[in-house]
Amino acid sequence: MASLLPGFFISVEGIDGSGKSTQARLLAGRLRQEGESVISIHDPGTTALGERIRALLLGKSEDAPPAPFAEVSLFLAARVQLLKEMIEPALARGEVVVCDRYLDSTLVYLGAGRGLDLDALLELHRLVGAARMPDLTLVLDLEVQAAQRRSDATLPADRIEAEPTTYHERVRQGYLALAPRFPERVVVLSAKPPPQDLAESCWRVASDRLMARRAT
DSSP designation for 62: S
Q: What is the pLDDT of residue 35?
A: 95
- Which of 168, 164, 7, 203 minimizes the C-alpha distance to 97? 7
CA distance 118 to 38: 30
CA distance 64 to 52: 19
Q: How much is the pTM?
A: 0.92
* Contact residues for 152 (Cβ-Cβ < 8 A; gap 6+): none
CB–CB of 15/171 below 8 Å? yes
pLDDT tens, 172-215? 999 999 999 999 999 999 999 999 999 999 999 999 999 998 88
Report yes or no on 176 lying in a domain: yes
User: What is the helix (H) or strand (E) element at residue 196, kind and residue range?
Assistant: helix 195-215
The per-residue pLDDT for 1 is 53
For residues 149 and 198, give the distance between their C-alpha atoms in angstroms, rounded to a whole number.
18
Q: In CATH, what number is assigned to the domain containing residue 194?
A: 3.40.50.300
Are 122 and 131 in contact, with CB atoms under 8 Å apart?
A: yes
Domain hosting 193: range is 8-215
Q: Is residue 1 part of a domain?
A: no
Residue 3 lies in a domain: no
DSSP of 136-149, one letter per residue?
EEEEEE--HHHHHH
Tell me, yes or no, whether 126 lies in a domain. Answer: yes
* Number of domains comprising the chain: 1
Cα–Cα distance for residue pair 9/95, rounded to 1 Å? 8
In the chain the beta strands, taken as DSSP E runs, fall at 8-14, 38-42, 96-100, 136-141, 186-190
Torsion of CA 75, 92, 11, 181, to 10 degrees: 90
Residue 2 lies in a domain: no
Domain assignment of residue 33, yes or no: yes
- Contact predicate 126/4, CB 8 Å: no
The DSSP bridge partners found for residue 190 are: 141
In a domain, 60, yes or no: yes
Beta-bridge mates of residue 9: 97
Q: How far apart are CA 135 and CA 123, in angstroms?
A: 19
pLDDT (tens digit, 0 to 9) for every residue of the chain, 216 residues total? Answer: 555 678 999 999 999 999 999 999 999 999 999 999 999 999 999 999 999 999 988 876 677 778 888 999 999 999 999 999 999 999 999 999 999 999 999 999 999 999 999 999 999 999 999 989 999 999 999 999 999 888 766 666 777 888 899 999 999 999 999 999 999 999 999 999 999 999 999 999 999 999 998 887
Prior bond of 68 cis (ω within 30°):
no
